[in-house]
A and B are shown apart, each in its own frame.
Chain A
């Protein structure tokens, strides 16, 4: 197993290098650079005789300072150096990216934690139900519903939800809309609230964004769960359990569930990158200061280091996630071994 892991890690490093090179190229071949944006569309106004030249000089100096005037491969070298030393910065401000990266990461991870817990706690029972009553009317209805949800674009649903909570109809039942906050993660009086109050405030704020990010994930996991469960209940030992007179509920929840969860567990690892990625659209719509919104803004601002850092972060997590899935798969399934993969 050790040699297998070593081999995988070696391949991961190679893949990583490839990803870094490609991302760097994609990012850098887009027109514009931080200097152009910093001194912006029109920040050069004419106070002095040489004003226009002054801004051009500023841009030139900025480019020299951060080596944007050098050929791409040299810039890449400088980037690798900054990456190795952890000295990645926002160019336009010359400050390290880490503080803001961490702040945004916290926001997104916490939000996604809720989403993951919700997805799993809803789709596992749903999958089990479907598998317990395969091809029944309830299975069909559930399946169709979940696929319908899966195919609804989240920005549209977000908009509908916003309209729903703000609907005038609420006044007829004596509630003043909006019944839920639709913007950000904090109320304006957040500072004045008690710790419990702050937590409740947070919960209220995340209801809409978390719902939008959850419903689409239900279909996939529940189908996986259903398939896993169906496979397991065809096994001999299940038939044995049934023959010995166990109730159907007991067979499924006690005997079959453990084994049928394996694919779901391995799937969890591959979801790692989504934990830090954040949803650009949802964060933008609900104005949540998370990774999705920040990354998007940094792309527009051509903050190369930040964008590269987030790309590398998700790439690493993806690779690690795949590795963990593979390892877990072997660990939970004795019929597969590292050796036989060779």
Chain B
């Protein structure tokens, strides 16, 4: 249960084999959360009319009237004159934002309102168990859910308004990074290529980069040196590397690097092409472009060195003349001011040293936290200015940058606990200084950046299993491996406003759904979560009276979608008409009705249906085998040899779909698709595999069609799934269908650096329409999550953020408490 409230890393999507009962070995990371406001569904969207009609994936220069920089993509109505039928838009409405009622559906609570009181326990079911409770090393979703009660973010996202509000940090300021032009007087910067002598250093240079054809070979490295005007090497200088023209896979907004203390920068692994390198001094503050073309930079914080500088000069703003700057990255410098009263659960004060420690640990290459290190690869500095003021710097403008920086503390281990453990066990002193192994030895210290610390951190049983300290409302209690984990209310919790009520949360690890249902019926569970639709609608339909009398059922939406994905590396799927035809061959609405009890909505794109990025004007493609046949014939697929299977140029429409066993809904879905495909002459072979083998096949792109679901944040960054950088046959990432499209790349890259919500929404819309035209996936539906809980619990709210509930808000009135 990630408390929806805490700012944790939200960018990640997780791949689910099935929505329900993902097996224990497949537990995935990340607790996605949302950040932007809602769209009210059902109300007609703003009727923006385009300046011109853009064609599918074409470079036609049409733009949104209200977002003139965003390419406009129109909604596909027909393909080669064949009209594409769509499901009429449903009137399903859901207000994403806004107050949420407590105890809805709990008749008992309505009848007998009770006073808020501390006390009592709750037992809740999880379908898998974390291996350890170290959120840097362990990346499973269950660990994050449990960890979110123990550790907290700097800011807290309100699950009703989606706004960030102060938590560990009482306030924060975001400032813009301005790169001055290389010729700014007194701050000249030059760049030179290694090998050439320093006299050749220039304001800018260009180079061509060639990736070796052999993917096993090490990519070549380009060595650059930053210097001052005289050609003397100068360290810590910004270097921007921009593609010249369009290079597929390389961001148009450039790669941003800083030279090391000796002025060296090495570049490697970019897509092949020609690049321009720029260099310049950097200032930061709140930057506004004035009407006359000058740039006004005002320091946003007293800690900004610019404040001091301007005071000395007797000015209140730095005015940069037109052309005096090379690059601006908005909102990349964050200064957080911590509350002085925040305490770890052992009452040690929480300080910025803990954040510096968190940053050092995450970036320690020997710490077993690669997946998290990737998330944080663009957080390039975390510096404590005072024990309660910290400055973090993001590499480049990114709409989720704040979320990442504010989430750092949710992963951070306590410095003092490790200092003590290392003193006790290694008889050494822990330090944040960067030391070499020899220096560590000489000074009898252990550096948080070093290998000795990494090994200790990965395996230390105190933090990993026994007593992981946190600042949160709960502390870890007893853990019986394979059975249960107890969380005890933190009696010393620093934040009285957000203190929990329940004395204990008992997490029961029950992988089997049937066992969990029986345990629930037997009263062993107070809150049964991850109920399958069949259990919810059939098994719990007419339960015995002693069940019905005491328990409340609930259903709520979490951001996700199911899909069929097509491996675009296969020749049969190259033609989008084929993919559209396949989408026309699955009756989503009917399946949702028959098998999922209408507990969901049919979707047409990858953004959350109730989120800000979903374009409701794109209605889902409907079921129409006739149109599908026309499209296939149009694309040249006909049965030439009367074997009942479509073929073209000797290639047959015969596909394999691997899937893990154990999710009846997914199995039925695939079997229905199989029958439907057969009716038009496409053979689909289903291959059942166990999870480890299955995921290996997906990642190796050894499949024709796959069916999975993505759990997303309310507004997700499409880069992970759709950017062409993951489309190569050998990439083993999330773009397992190998989708790559220049316009899609452009939109994705633009989206990442767009901070304006309205403009970002337009980009999402264009992207949604483009993905609808291309149909690399057949988008299916977003289904509800189900739970049932004991009626004595009050304050129960179902939020729009995963996992949808916050147990710190649940309470039991004194007179109804069971456990003392």
* CB-CB under 8 A for A51 and B515, given A92-B131, A104-B482, A177-B546: no
CA of A290 to CA of B696, assembled, Å: 29
B375 at the interface (CB under 8 A from A): yes
Report the nearest B residue to A100, measured CB to CB: B481
B39 at the interface (CB under 8 A from A): no
Taking CB atoms, residues of chain B closer than 8 Å to A55 are 370-371, 374, 732-733
Q: Decide: A182 and B131 in contact? CB cutoff 8 A.
A: no
Query: Contact flags (1/0) for A76-119 with B, using CB distance below 8 Å?
Result: 00000000000000101111000010011000000000000000
From B24, B121, B461, contact of A300 by CB (8 A): B24
The smallest beta-carbon distance between A95 and chain B, in angstroms, is 6
A39 at the interface (CB under 8 A from B): yes
Q: Decide: A41 and B518 in contact? CB cutoff 8 A.
A: no
A162 at the interface (CB under 8 A from B): yes
* CB-CB under 8 A for A184 and B692, given A40-B28, A44-B720, A46-B723: no
* CB-CB under 8 A for A44 and B371, given A32-B692, A36-B699: yes
Q: Decide: A285 and B512 in contact? CB cutoff 8 A.
A: yes
Taking CB atoms, residues of chain A closer than 8 Å to B546 are 168, 171, 176-177
Query: Contact flags (1/0) for B190-231 with A, using CB distance below 8 Å?
Result: 000000000000000000000000000000000000000000
The smallest beta-carbon distance between A141 and chain B, in angstroms, is 33
Report the nearest B residue to A48, measured CB to CB: B377
Taking CB atoms, residues of chain A closer than 8 Å to B720 are 44-46, 51-52
B142 at the interface (CB under 8 A from A): no
Taking CB atoms, residues of chain B closer than 8 Å to A90 are 131
Total A-B residue contacts, Cβ distance less than 8 Å: 222
Interface centre among A40, A100, A159, A171 (most CB of B within 10 A): A40
CA of A135 to CA of B31, assembled, Å: 68
CA of A300 to CA of B24, assembled, Å: 8
Taking CB atoms, residues of chain A closer than 8 Å to B690 are 300
* CB-CB under 8 A for A94 and B255, given A46-B717, A162-B518, A183-B510: no
CA of A36 to CA of B269, assembled, Å: 23
CA of A94 to CA of B695, assembled, Å: 23
From A31, A39, A297, contact of B697 by CB (8 A): A31
Taking CB atoms, residues of chain A closer than 8 Å to B251 are 49
Quick one: which of B693-712 are within 8 Å of A by CB? 693, 695-699, 710
From A43, A48, A287, A300, contact of B29 by CB (8 A): A43
Taking CB atoms, residues of chain B closer than 8 Å to A162 are 518, 522
Please tell me which stretch of B13-21, B584-592, B631-639, B737-745 contacts chain A, meaning at least 4 of its Cβ atoms lie within 8 angstroms of it.
B13-21
Known: A44-B374, A47-B378, A183-B510. 14 other contacts (CB 8 A): A38-B139, A39-B139, A40-B28, A41-B16, A44-B371, A44-B734, A52-B726, A55-B732, A183-B515, A191-B478, A284-B511, A284-B512, A288-B482, A302-B692
A56 at the interface (CB under 8 A from B): yes
A289 at the interface (CB under 8 A from B): yes
Q: Decide: A49 and B24 in contact? CB cutoff 8 A.
A: no
From B400, B458, B696, contact of A36 by CB (8 A): B696
CA of A10 to CA of B697, assembled, Å: 43
Report the nearest A residue to B697, measured CB to CB: A31
The smallest beta-carbon distance between B526 and chain A, in angstroms, is 10
The smallest beta-carbon distance between B721 and chain A, in angstroms, is 9
Q: Decide: A287 and B375 in contact? CB cutoff 8 A.
A: no
Quick one: which of B527-562 are within 8 Å of A by CB? 544-546
The smallest beta-carbon distance between B431 and chain A, in angstroms, is 24
B114 at the interface (CB under 8 A from A): no
Query: Contact flags (1/0) for A253-293 with B, using CB distance below 8 Å?
Result: 00000000000000000000000000000001111111001
The smallest beta-carbon distance between A35 and chain B, in angstroms, is 10
B23 at the interface (CB under 8 A from A): yes
B663 at the interface (CB under 8 A from A): no
Taking CB atoms, residues of chain B closer than 8 Å to A323 are none
* CB-CB under 8 A for A181 and B524, given A44-B371, A94-B368, A176-B546: yes
Q: Decide: A182 and B522 in contact? CB cutoff 8 A.
A: yes
- Can you identify 24 A-B contacts, CB atoms within 8 angstroms? A36-B699, A41-B28, A42-B13, A42-B14, A42-B28, A42-B29, A48-B374, A48-B378, A49-B255, A49-B377, A51-B375, A51-B377, A54-B370, A54-B377, A55-B371, A56-B732, A94-B368, A168-B545, A178-B521, A183-B515, A188-B484, A188-B819, A285-B514, A300-B691
Interface centre among A30, A54, A90, A284 (most CB of B within 10 A): A54
From A36, A47, A49, A103, contact of B404 by CB (8 A): A47
Report the nearest B residue to A159, measured CB to CB: B514
CA of A235 to CA of B510, assembled, Å: 56
Q: Decide: A40 and B29 in contact? CB cutoff 8 A.
A: yes
Interface centre among A42, A58, A188, A300 (most CB of B within 10 A): A42
Q: Decide: B139 and A43 in contact? CB cutoff 8 A.
A: yes
A233 at the interface (CB under 8 A from B): no
CA of A32 to CA of B690, assembled, Å: 10
Q: Decide: B518 and A47 in contact? CB cutoff 8 A.
A: no
Q: Decide: B731 and A52 in contact? CB cutoff 8 A.
A: yes
Taking CB atoms, residues of chain A closer than 8 Å to B519 are 182-183, 287
The smallest beta-carbon distance between A205 and chain B, in angstroms, is 11
CA of A49 to CA of B252, assembled, Å: 12
A301 at the interface (CB under 8 A from B): yes
The smallest beta-carbon distance between B149 and chain A, in angstroms, is 18
Report the nearest A residue to B477, measured CB to CB: A191
The smallest beta-carbon distance between A25 and chain B, in angstroms, is 16
* CB-CB under 8 A for A36 and B695, given A44-B720, A46-B723, A287-B510: yes
Q: Decide: B374 and A47 in contact? CB cutoff 8 A.
A: yes
Query: Contact flags (1/0) for B1-36 with A, using CB distance below 8 Å?
Result: 000000001011111110000011111111000000
CA of A22 to CA of B374, assembled, Å: 39
Q: Decide: A41 and B375 in contact? CB cutoff 8 A.
A: no
Query: Contact flags (1/0) for B357-379 with A, using CB distance below 8 Å?
Result: 00000000000101101111110
Query: Contact flags (1/0) for B487-524 with A, using CB distance below 8 Å?
Result: 00000000000000000001011111011001101111
B725 at the interface (CB under 8 A from A): yes
B480 at the interface (CB under 8 A from A): yes
A37 at the interface (CB under 8 A from B): yes
From B370, B400, B482, contact of A294 by CB (8 A): B482
From B482, B484, B521, B545, contact of A293 by CB (8 A): B482
B132 at the interface (CB under 8 A from A): yes
Q: Decide: B269 and A32 in contact? CB cutoff 8 A.
A: no
Report the nearest B residue to A61, measured CB to CB: B370
CA of A289 to CA of B482, assembled, Å: 5
Taking CB atoms, residues of chain A closer than 8 Å to B699 are 36
A206 at the interface (CB under 8 A from B): no
* CB-CB under 8 A for A189 and B819, given A32-B692, A52-B733, A93-B132: yes
B719 at the interface (CB under 8 A from A): yes
Report the nearest A residue to B719, measured CB to CB: A46
CA of A46 to CA of B724, assembled, Å: 13
CA of A300 to CA of B660, assembled, Å: 12
Query: Contact flags (1/0) for B418-452 with A, using CB distance below 8 Å?
Result: 00000000000000000000000000000000000
Taking CB atoms, residues of chain A closer than 8 Å to B132 are 93
Task: Enumerate the 10 nearest inter-chain pairs by beta-carbon distance, A residue then B residue, closest first.
Answer: A289-B482, A58-B370, A45-B12, A32-B692, A42-B15, A48-B377, A52-B733, A46-B720, A54-B374, A300-B25
Taking CB atoms, residues of chain A closer than 8 Å to B12 are 42-43, 45
A63 at the interface (CB under 8 A from B): no
Taking CB atoms, residues of chain B closer than 8 Å to A250 are none
CA of A103 to CA of B695, assembled, Å: 31
Query: Contact flags (1/0) for B118-158 with A, using CB distance below 8 Å?
Result: 00010100000001100001010000000000000000000
The smallest beta-carbon distance between B660 and chain A, in angstroms, is 10
B459 at the interface (CB under 8 A from A): yes
B483 at the interface (CB under 8 A from A): yes
CA of A103 to CA of B482, assembled, Å: 10
A186 at the interface (CB under 8 A from B): yes
* CB-CB under 8 A for A47 and B693, given A42-B15, A168-B544, A289-B482: no
